[in-house]
Structure 1
């Protein structure tokens, strides 16, 4: 999703000023690189002056004595130039990689800090493109752009000074085409920036389609979307090709125009220089000097023209990367909290109070889009060790309540208290370190089963990992695997069944012995046998711990202390299972309907199993 702010359709120096402020940690490196480039420009300027001296002193008078000194001078300058070129290429490459590292590191750190709302609004492809292609584009443009920019300006300034000193009239003839180049640059500027912005936008879309195609491969096949996906991707890549060709055409048009203007300058210098030579106003050596400088002058001009197109191209990437790095965090700690508890990466664990487990929603309002309330004046008081089950239709606000309690989002009105204190007065890390969260669709990271369980407690021993697995009844199936706990789970846990992934994610959630548990329909997508194992684990693990359970199968929450029936962000019924069943209200209807459906399903499964057994018996008899 693109930044919604309107961008100026021209070269924006404020963007680059912001970029260079951002890169201020490399200030010393850039200054050293500038010194290299100025030194190289001085050497480049010295060659024509040495040639002029040789022509006027030795060649034209036909004197060969002392000419060897000129050759020695050339040799010394060549060696110096070789060393400088080697050093600045190495140094510029180091800066480029340093800039790229900083942008990717800061972008990734920002993504770790941003709340769920940012991920709700931005596509994965958009974020990937910022930290990959856009960051590479900027680092290359800045590092090597500084090289060519400083060298080009130093060369143009030095050549202008020397030519004005040598013969100011001929110098003005040579420099007369510079304003024309400025006019051409302004003409091409807007068109190139628009084209390059479009290229970057389409590149993000293509990255997103790649991601969707890989992550959603199973869905693609089950929905037979291969042809549709191919057509969508083909349309975007064709658009990328067309837009890139247009951008390249504009750049290709700009550079030849600049080359044409430089050729005009060369012709004017040669013509008037020959006239001045015929009139005895300059020497042969000076004419060669001006012709050489005229050619050399327009080399940096062409380099600056190229840099300009690169800056226009990279500006779109710079805007997008900085928009990510400077993105405001919806959930931010105040200065007092940071001073006491630390931040995401420098945590002051020694100051963290123990979490007891009392949770209270006090007149809480919440909306994702302003004015469209999900919760309004929501109140709930949960005591330590209580199990709260949330029941209701999709979109009723169940997950929102859990996400607010976890502080993945913050209330837009009212407050949430943990152990009697507004949870904004403590750090997010303090709360998150004390909670366990099991999702309906568990996500495992690439690596082994052992590594995935250890993510819940990084300093956990192998014994603790096995103990956690035993508690959730995962040890039995893990032990049967060829490599046991060292078995690789694959991308996203793709090498395991949904039930196995759920058991591992449950072990990961309990290994740190959190004080508050959140189960978001954790048993809705698994088989009955695995559900029974997890339900047994839940009963053991949740004892004396505060827990919130979003329930799909109502049979799993009959032992909950309090069941809340949610409808449009409001609690319409509240009580334990027996109380709600006796009321014959909304919960009673939901439970009885689901009980009948599950009973019918069980009978159907039993019937199918009997038929299969009969068929197997017939085959054996035959």
Structure 2
């Protein structure tokens, strides 16, 4: 994206990011992607036709300028020669000149007007096209299953939805009109030159293959250095990001010198690739200028001979030289735009790949609604696996009554979070049913299903905004008094009022201006305000101090009153009072019961509990 912007800012140049010599991102299926992109432009075909016509008229009016200016030059030259030869009544015909200059001013005025019209229409077409693309991308995000986000980085998704779409927008708005103008200019200039002198036109055209050979040879030579530059730039960016984000670790282990040495080495390598790429690609323009000047000298010599022989007028030779100087610009511009379009099609392909991602199973057309949810949950013969051939959960059966607290325990990777994801229908089960109040969750709209749940997770999520707005996020249209009541119930009101701005305090992007424990209290207040019939609690106290843990535990106990609660437990001492404890290992519920029953079984749970208890005792004795 930034590469293409650089290309455009350089015009027809040959810098590191655009133009000849620079590596271009290529589409896997250029033709197929281009056809699909053109389909987005189909509704605006009449607008595009108007752009095409305006572009032709603008270019034609501009091309006629040198020829008409040459007529004025010829008239001045003839008047001076007649006066020099003492012809009676000789002199410069100023009336003719003023008419010519007026005509010339009108041509350039109309050229500018049509250029403005084409840019205005094309800007509208480009923005409407990318508006459709962004709208589709936004809708797509809401239809993608959780497994897509598990397997794709946020940066990659944002790059496709923002950068690649923006790249398409810029190309449609600028490069499409430029390519039309360049092609029309090339054809128009050749036609005008032929009307002046076919011989001089042939001389000029003979120099084109030489220019092309120079450009291709130099581009081929510079290509490896551009590739090396991009690769090394990625290494340098990764190293800087790694050191910046982990600077505390680097300092703690005394690796500043080692990090600096690596940076210096990679930076030196980038410098070597960079200056070689810049130098070699920079040679293209001087060489092409040399070829152009060579053609200019030949044309001037031949043109001078033709003028003395009376084959053409001096104004025509002036016009021809102007055309020859203009000729190289649209050719270089066309080559540069060809690279940009290739990169744009690659961006379009990335956007279309995103739009073609497999979507989650759509909601039922005749979806059911639970009008008065009680919170009864049941799993019946549930099988689930992230892949078809490897099941993570097999034949799971569970019955949870309204108001009960279900604790889910087990080692890392046992399937605790997966169980919650299935309950929220973030993933589709392979077989069996999950029901809430006797209704299969696949028969509910996902939005209705999610509204039945409140979540307090170990990783808090707060957005940039006031504390009041963050709490109010739990329920749309919540009044200020309701927000305060929720904060009071969550034991968060006291710390909020100690802040300088109170409830109006603005949290920064990562909410680092309050502590981890305070963040948790705000998420609990949000859940209390939502007043859901079912709660999902992922141990929210594992990263806070003992005193804060007591406050959070009290707030969560208040939140859980009268609600069906699923608690993912890491500290087993916090779930001893749970109505049902599910012990999971390798995706299966291997034990089920309350705390006393499971201890009496002296099985996996008892082993987990005693190992944690022994660890706590050891910590206390060490302390």
- The equivalent residue for 2:360 is 332
Q: Displacement, 1:50? A: 0.8
Residue number among 277, 296, 303 corresponding to 2:326 in the alignment: 296
The 1-side partners of 2:387 and 2:261 are apart by: 33
- The equivalent residue for 1:570 is 588
- The equivalent residue for 2:542 is 524
Residue number among 460, 473, 476 corresponding to 2:478 in the alignment: 460
The 1-side partners of 2:593 and 2:575 are apart by: 12
Deviations 1:80-130 (A, max 9, x none): 445556666777777777777777776566556544433333344444555
Q: Displacement, 1:153? A: 1.1
Is 1:407 aligned to 2:436, yes or no? no
> Which blocks of at least 5 consecutive residues in structure 2 are unaligned?
1-24, 83-90
The 2-side partners of 1:510 and 1:191 are apart by: 66
Q: Displacement, 1:590? A: 1.9
Check the 8 A contact 2:58/2:113 in 1, yes or no.
Answer: no
Check the 8 A contact 2:165/2:347 in 1, yes or no.
Answer: yes
Question: Which shifted more, 156-165 or 203-212?
Answer: 203-212
Question: Which shifted more, 352-361 or 454-463?
Answer: 352-361
Deviations 1:440-464 (A, max 9, x none): 1213222222121122223211122
Deviations 1:281-338 (A, max 9, x none): 4444433333332222222112212323444555655554554x42514x4243x64x
Is 1:495 aligned to 2:513, yes or no? yes
Residue number among 444, 463, 470 corresponding to 1:445 in the alignment: 463
Question: Which shifted more, 19-28 or 138-147?
Answer: 19-28
- The equivalent residue for 2:69 is 51
- The equivalent residue for 1:515 is 533
TM-score (norm: length of structure 1): 0.79
The 2-side partners of 1:26 and 1:205 are apart by: 43
Is 1:481 aligned to 2:499, yes or no? yes
Question: In the superposition, relative to structure 1, how do residues 301 and 512 fare at CA in structure 2: closer, same or farther (>3 Å)?
Answer: same
Check the 8 A contact 1:416/1:422 in 2, yes or no.
Answer: yes
- The equivalent residue for 2:441 is 423
- The equivalent residue for 1:64 is 92
> Which blocks of at least 5 consecutive residues in structure 1 are unaligned?
1-6, 342-349, 606-622
Is 1:554 aligned to 2:584, yes or no? no
Check the 8 A contact 1:499/1:530 in 2, yes or no.
Answer: yes
Is 1:121 aligned to 2:151, yes or no? yes
Check the 8 A contact 2:145/2:427 in 1, yes or no.
Answer: yes
Check the 8 A contact 2:179/2:337 in 1, yes or no.
Answer: yes
Check the 8 A contact 1:128/1:207 in 2, yes or no.
Answer: no
- The equivalent residue for 2:176 is 146
Deviations 1:393-426 (A, max 9, x none): 1111111111222223333555544444543443
Is 1:162 aligned to 2:192, yes or no? yes
Question: In the superposition, relative to structure 1, how do residues 327 and 211 fare at CA in structure 2: closer, same or farther (>3 Å)?
Answer: farther
Question: Which shifted more, 76-85 or 289-298?
Answer: 76-85
Check the 8 A contact 2:27/2:342 in 1, yes or no.
Answer: no
Residue number among 104, 109, 113 corresponding to 1:74 in the alignment: 104
Question: In the superposition, relative to structure 1, how do residues 503 and 181 fare at CA in structure 2: closer, same or farther (>3 Å)?
Answer: same
The 1-side partners of 2:53 and 2:481 are apart by: 59
Q: Displacement, 1:152? A: 0.7
Check the 8 A contact 1:34/1:146 in 2, yes or no.
Answer: no
Question: In the superposition, relative to structure 1, how do residues 482 and 117 fare at CA in structure 2: closer, same or farther (>3 Å)?
Answer: same
